[in-house]
Amino acid sequence: MNIFSVSALNAMLNEQDAAMTMKPLVIPTVNLNGNDARSLVEDCSRIMRAIGVAAEIMQSGHDLWHGRNHLPSPIDGERKNADARDAIGERVAALRRMRSEFEQLALNIQRQER
């Protein structure tokens, strides 16, 4: 038996979609009052490394979507390992996009040094 109404599920999904939309990163202005470009770029590098580690763990964590961990659902009788694999893949792709954003941010910071 489904404990959520269709409208409640749609509302939850809409909230999740809104939460996944992020504002673009703002390029810091390198100036005498703020941090130097080197330290800002190093922060970006640390973030990129952490994102890379998270993506690697998610990709290698095949137990998360292995069939033995997604036996037929008592609700609908379907195996969910393909859905689990797809969901992880979407998140790895999101992490890669985020890593790319920080890489671009670092390049834009470096351009200000010239």
Contacting residues for 49 by C-beta, under 8 A, at least 6 apart = none
Helix ranges restricted to H, 6-65? 6-20, 37-60
pTM above 0.85, yes or no: no
Other CB atoms within 10 A of residue 6 CB: 8
Tell me if 88 sits within 8 A of 58, measured CB to CB: yes
Instruction: Give the pLDDT score at 1.
Output: 37
pLDDT tens digits in sequence order for the chain, 114 residues long:
344 455 655 565 566 555 568 889 999 999 989 999 999 999 999 999 999 999 998 888 767 777 777 777 777 777 677 787 888 888 899 999 999 999 999 999 999 986
96-102 own/partner pairs: CB under 8 Å, 24+ apart: 96/55, 98/51, 99/48, 99/51, 99/52, 99/55, 101/24, 101/25, 102/25, 102/44, 102/47, 102/48, 102/51
92: its two tokens? 């790895």
- Locus of tokens 């703020």: 34
Ordered by start, the domain boundaries in the chain are: 6-113
